[in-house]
């Protein structure tokens, strides 16, 4: 599942970016990976490569 730009504009400002991570340039990719994980019930190692390394 990938978020539309409109959905991301709504959600993005509410996600914290700390001193040690997550990295702002990958925040959307990481967030979509978490959504994928909980929607499918799959394991982290089954995550598609488009969401980055597990």
pLDDT at residue 4 tops 90: yes
pTM over cut 0.85? no
Whether the per-residue pLDDT at 1 is higher than 70: the answer is no
**DSSP secondary structure letters along 8-28:** HHHHGGGS---SS-S-GGGHH
Please check the confidence at residue 40 and state whether its pLDDT lies above 70: yes
Tell me the average pLDDT across 31-35.
87
Q: In this model, does residue 41 exceed pLDDT 70? A: yes
Domain boundaries, the chain: 1-7+25-53
Question: What tokens were used for 31?
Answer: 């967030």
Mean pLDDT score of the chain: 83
- pLDDT at residue 22, rounded to an integer: 63
| 24 dihedral zone (left: phi>0; alpha: psi -120 to 50; beta) | alpha
């Amino acid at each position: 599942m990938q978020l539309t730009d409109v959905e991301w504009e709504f959600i993005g400002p509410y996600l914290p970016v700390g001193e040690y991570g997550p990295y702002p340039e990958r925040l959307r990719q990481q967030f979509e990976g978490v959504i994928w994980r909980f929607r499918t019930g799959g394991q982290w190692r089954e995550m598609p490569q488009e969401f980055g390394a597990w």
